[in-house]
Every structure is written in structure tokens, then in C-alpha cells.
Amino acid sequence: MYLITVEGGDGSGKGLATKMIAEILQQEFTFSGVDVTAEPRRDAELGLLAVEAVRTGDAGPTREAVYFAADRMDHSHTWIRPRLGQGRVIVSERNVHSSLVYQGVVGDLGIEEVARMNAAAMIPDLCIWVDCDPGAALRRIEQDTLRITLDKSEYFETDEYQKKIRQGYHDLLGGTVPMPSPFNRGRVVGPIVNDSTKGELRKKLQLEIRRFLHERPKPLNVSTEEVDLHMLGRALVSQRGQTTLDVVESRPPRSNLDWLDSRKPWEIVRDSTKIYVDAIQASDAPSRLDAPADPLSHPVLAIVGTLSLLPSVEIHELRTWLGPVRMVTERHTRRMVKIFHEQSGWVRVYRSLVGSDASRSELRSDWQAFGRIGIALWPLKEALSEWRKSHPGSSWKHALSASLSSEPNAAESCLSRLALLGSGKAEVPPPSNREELIAWWQNGAV
């Protein structure tokens, strides 16, 4: 979903930072996977052409830049873009900013020309700029702690050249030189100074990664809808062949097909939101419940909706299926599951085996419909919430048509989601246009 790049001069610690960033992403966030790469690619013909051009110096600046751009284009569209669409995060040691600095700012081509050559490549969502004192960088190089597969003379020639490269990064990533389009759409953080221990470097990187991802920025190279549809499809495929989801001590079992149970979606949302609000506002509720007041908020619909797709799961499994679009922090996920268990009774938490350390959570059958409606109408959750605040006395029956008027492009996304989830009644096809979607909301699957 996101392309995160690590930039900086030779010997600054990019390789170490890349490894640390990948570990942080793997440990703390809910991407479907974390992939590490680097440019130029040493395992691709185009990348090797770029490497050889630098090594020999025979190609000239323009052809050399073309080789780097061609390698990046191929890398972007055959390797990076497909993975982003699957909800994975890519961490790349060097990317387009290296070309902008080496060939555009420091080199002879000019930054606008280099940007033009690379304009169709993926845009880094986040560029993390790692820096260190040039003397320390050169000492790393001389001590062979900079592990590269090329001769040292290929990317750095003299102390003076290294100073130019470092200044080039400061000029471009520091804002003295304007970032050219389209790469000015991405975020740059830094310089993150690598002048202390590995532990200190990791803390700095962790802070920036958390700050970026907790803001839920819109990805630049894929749509969140594409990513979430992929994650929903995976979850449903994992249950393929099961017409029911077994729920402990719950009858009837949850159905993968007849999940509306012949009810109308607007009535389900009306009743469920009232029960949620009553539960968190109850006189016996803990004074510091720390739960969202809005039953259509991101954490509520993310957790209840995801649980509606699955049988019982441990917390780490639940977070895996949340994916990057419905992501909720581990701490908040645990808190919300506890609230659903203790206050509203929507979720049952139990241990499957005597002595088992990990508790499992399952959504009770009578809340499955609300969860799946929440997933189906996820693109409209903010609009529905705003409608309710503006029309507290109006019937929920009219909420969807009003929300679609304010968010007309969301209809197609909701229809795509229902194409995966089904209409909620086995023998009834899901709605296929805006009018059928409104009819489904008002009348149910008929």
C-alpha cells in the first residue's frame, strides 16, 4: 500500500535503517506483508546496465540516467505496484531521490530533466532521509562496513565528492531546491542523524514511521479501495466452502450466505447503533471506558466488520485480517474487543484449551449482519455518521440515499464490496447499481 524509501549519502547507514524500518513495520502494523528492495537492482538486466554505466563511465550522463530510469520503471510496474495493490508495504534502499540528487542536483542534467525521465515511476509515499557526518561515512567505507557489491570507486570518488552528495541531499530533501513534480506529492522526513547507537537510530525511525502511519495518509500509487477489496477477498476465500461459521455457545450459527437473516439493513443499523450507545453510556459502565462515542467510527466498524468475516481468532490473527486500510493499533484492538465483550456482549472472549495463553474472540451471531453492513458501506461511514448528527430525529431508512448524494462516487465501491459479500440472502444477487443499492438498504435482499 505504501512505498517507503530510504535515502542518504554513501556510508550514512541506509542499509541498517532499511532493515530496522522493515522490522518495525512487521512488528507493529497490519500490512499483508513487508518487502525490502533496493535500487539499482543487481538481479535485473536493466539494473546491471545502470551499474555498469557508473563503473565504466563510458555511457555519459544522459544514457546513464536513462539506464537508472528504465530500471526504476520496470521495477515500479512489474514488482512494486502489484505488491502495493495487495496491501503490502515496500521499503526501498534508494529510489528516485537518489537519481534526483546524483544526476540532477550534483550532476549535469538538471533536476527537472531527471524528474521527467522518471515521471512514470512509483512515487515514494514516504522518503526517510538518513544523514551522518561525512568523516564518519568515509570511515565506514574505508573500514568496509558499507557492504556493497561494487568497487568503492563506483559511487564515491573523493572526500570532496562525498561532500557534494551530502549537500545535494540537504538542498533537495531539506527544501532549498524545490522538489519537482510529481515527486513533490510524497512526504520527506529527516535528516535522521545516524551519529549514536543502533538503539537510538531505531527509536528515531520508529517515531517517524508511527507518526506517518497513524495519520492514515492516502497512498499515492494505489487506491485504498483496491487494497481493502483484496484483503476482503482473501478473508472470504479463507472461508470458502463453509456456508456457516461455527460460533461457540451460539445458536443459530453465523451464515456466510444468509447473514441478513431476512432483515432490512437500515433497521439493523438503527438497532445496533442504539445498543452500542446505550452500552457505553450505561450507568454501570467504567468511568474511563475510552471507547468511541460514534458506533460508525473507524475502530468499531473495523473490528466488528472484520470479525463478521471470520470464525474465532486470536488478537494477532484479527489484526492480520484488518489489513492496512482497516488498521487499528494492537493496544486499541485489545481495548475494543474487551469493551465489546464486557459492555455490549457483541463479542465472546474465551480460551479454547485449558492452560492456553492466548484468548480467542468471536462475534456473536446476532451481530454479524451489522458487521457485514459496516464492511459493505465502509466508504460511506463518515457520510452516514455526519448524516446522523445532522438528522438525529430522522429515520435511518433515508440515510443511505442522503449519504450517496454527498458522496456519489462511493456507490461503486459499496457495490464492489457487496459483490464479494453477497446480498445477505443466498438466492438473491447483490445490487448492481445505485438504485438497487438504495432498495437493498431500505427493503433488504428481496
For the chain, what is the mean pLDDT?
88
Grid cell, residue 349, equals: 472472549
Length of the chain: 446
Look at residue 361 and give its three-state secondary structure.
strand
The answer to whether the bond into 324 is cis (omega within 30° of 0) is no
Q: What is the per-residue pLDDT across 344-360, written as a single tens digit (0 to 9) for each?
A: 788 888 876 655 567 89
DSSP string, 87-137: TEEEEEES-HHHHIIIIIISSSS-HHHHHHHTTTSPPPSEEEEEE--HHHH
Q: What is the per-residue pLDDT across 209-231, written as a single tens digit (0 to 9) for each?
A: 999 999 999 999 999 999 999 99
pLDDT at 123: 98
pLDDT at 242: 52
pLDDT at 61: 84
Q: What percent of the chain has pLDDT over 70?
A: 88
Q: What is the per-residue pLDDT across 77-98, written as a single tens digit (0 to 9) for each?
A: 999 999 999 999 999 999 999 9
| Least confident stretch, 107-121, 165-179, 268-282, 431-445 | 268-282
DSSP state for residue 396 in the 8-state scheme: G
Can you tell me the distance from the alpha carbon of 272 to that of 256, in angstroms, rounded to the nearest whole number?
A: 20
**What number is the average pLDDT over the span 369-379?**
97
**What number is the average pLDDT over the span 99-104?**
93
Domain ranges, ordered by start, for the chain: 2-222, 225-443
pLDDT at 147: 44
Grid cell, residue 436, equals: 438497487
**What number is the average pLDDT over the span 155-181?**
84
- Our measurement of the distance from residue 319's CA atom to the centroid of its chain's CA atoms, rounded to an integer in Å, reads 12
Nearest to 253 by CA among 242, 244, 240: 244
Quick check: 403 and 383 in contact, CB under 8 A? yes
> At residue 158, what are phi and psi to the nearest 5 degrees?
-140, 165
Band of pLDDT at residue 132, cut at 50, 70 and 90:
confident
Band of pLDDT at residue 145, cut at 50, 70 and 90:
very low
Quick check: 19 and 180 in contact, CB under 8 A? no
**What number is the average pLDDT over the span 42-60?**
83
pLDDT at 45: 85
Opening angle at CA 117, ends 114 and 123, nearest 5: 90
Q: Which residue is it, cell 513487508?
A: 34
Quick check: 136 and 11 in contact, CB under 8 A? yes
Q: Quick one: which H or E segment has residue 348?
A: strand 347-350
Can you tell me the distance from the alpha carbon of 285 to that of 278, in angstroms, rounded to the nearest whole number?
A: 10
**What number is the average pLDDT over the span 30-51?**
90
**What number is the average pLDDT over the span 302-317?**
92
Band of pLDDT at residue 146, cut at 50, 70 and 90:
very low
pLDDT at 201: 95
Asked if pLDDT for residue 154 goes beyond 50, the answer is: no
> At residue 176, what are phi and psi to the nearest 5 degrees?
-65, -45
What are residue 38's DSSP bridge partners? 93
Q: Which residues contact 297 (CB under 8 A, 6 or more apart)?
A: 381, 385
Band of pLDDT at residue 372, cut at 50, 70 and 90:
very high
Quick check: 413 and 346 in contact, CB under 8 A? no
DSSP state for residue 243 in the 8-state scheme: S
Asked if pLDDT for residue 155 goes beyond 90, the answer is: no
**What number is the average pLDDT over the span 367-393?**
95
pTM beyond 0.75: yes
Can you tell me the distance from the alpha carbon of 209 to that of 188, in angstroms, rounded to the nearest whole number?
A: 12
B/e letters for 65-81, b = 16+ CB within 10 Å, e = fewer, are bbbbbbbbbbbbeeebb
Q: Which CATH number fits domain 2-222: 3.90.1010.10, 3.40.80.10, 3.40.50.300, 3.30.43.10?
A: 3.40.50.300
Q: Round the CA-based radius of gyration of the chain to a whole number and report it.
A: 26
Quick check: 281 and 345 in contact, CB under 8 A? no
Asked if pLDDT for residue 246 goes beyond 60, the answer is: no
**What number is the average pLDDT over the span 298-308?**
96
**What number is the average pLDDT over the span 250-261?**
73
**What number is the average pLDDT over the span 249-268?**
80
**What number is the average pLDDT over the span 423-445?**
95
| Least confident stretch, 127-131, 142-146, 259-263, 436-440 | 142-146
Q: Which residues contact 250 (CB under 8 A, 6 or more apart)?
A: 348, 362, 364, 365
> Identity (one letter) of the amino acid at 248?
V
